[in-house]
Amino acid sequence: MLKRIVLATAAVAALSASPVKAEETTTILNASYDISRELFAAITPKFVEHWKATTGKDAKVDLSFAGTSRQAQDIIQGKKVDTVTFNQVTDIEILAKRGLVKSDWQQAFPNNSSPYYSTTAFLVRKGNPKNIRNWDDLVRDDVKVVFPNPKTSGNARYSYLGAWLYANEAFKGDDAKTKEFVGKLLRNVVNFPTGGRAATVAFAQNQQGDALLTFESEVINIARSAEYASYGFEVVVPPVSVLAEFPVAVVDKVADARGSRKLATDYLNYQYTKEIQELLTTFNYRVHHPEVVEAVKGQYAPVRTIDPTKVLGTWDEIQEKHFATNGIVDELLAQRR
């Protein structure tokens, strides 16, 4: 009898460790940025249909939304996320440094693992009463601004970097004048919510500020939405702004443990297909697929985008100098008090 119990226990242990069972995983969790709810609510059902059509199997993709820095910290603390579709490279780099994502993650998918991109633009009130046209208008004494906290939101980091890159050009690389300019902008911020969706609510519903800074795609989506149509919001795309890439990655440690790598990889690859690249343009993101780019070339305002890494160093250097504890952002935010 004892021998039978030992054998049965061994059989159960072998089954629980079986890689075959792990490979049958049909559910993944994707963590994304705060304002991407509608986008991924549209992408995900299409992917599930695509997966069924190509593999004959059912799949489920669960979705999680928050500021990407918060998402990254949740993953570090043990949240079982299979894929990330973020709006900030540094938040995936943090995962890579913790061994959750491979160090060469940007080579895993095309365009530095960025299926689409955007830039920072401004949403202003009907008639643009403060005549806000460019970054320098945002530092005027009569202008108040809303955007998320750069310490918690990838969206806000691009707004911050857009202002910094503009000032860096205007002041010919003078760091002191650039810092003073960005400090003035931060002092003009009337609300620093943790994520982009809360910033929209503060500006649009609570009537705070004269301009909302966020991704061009979100600015256009808000202005054209039925929810806010009566407000008459207007879109302002400054002539020079920041290149905002939207990086994606498989969370390798989780995907390998759960046996979800194929499903996770296909989910991210699907975002590069012509069908989804076309869908992305309906949400006013800029894309890479050449046929789609040609088809929508008149859809977007002209803007010269600046890649932060071409001017300010690597993302690690940008993170350390600007966003790390006791970095420039902390210094400038302290001056608001």
Q: Tell me the backbone φ, ψ of residue 60, rounded to 5 degrees.
A: -135, 130
Residue type, 12: V
Q: How far is CA 9 from CA 12, 15, 16, 20, in A?
A: 5, 10, 11, 19
pLDDT at 154 (0 to 100):
81
* Nearest-angstrom CA–CA distance, 231 and 240: 27
Whether residue 218 contacts residue 178, with contact meaning beta carbons closer than 8 Å, is answered with: no
Tokens of 80: 């079982």
Write down the pLDDT at residue 155. 85
Q: pTM above the 0.75 mark?
A: yes
Low-confidence ranges of the chain (pLDDT < 50): 1-22
* CA–CA gap between residue 251 and residue 261 (Å, rounded): 9
Under DSSP, the state recorded for 83 is E
| pLDDT tens sequence across 86-118 | 998 989 999 999 999 999 999 999 999 999 999
pLDDT of residue 24: 61
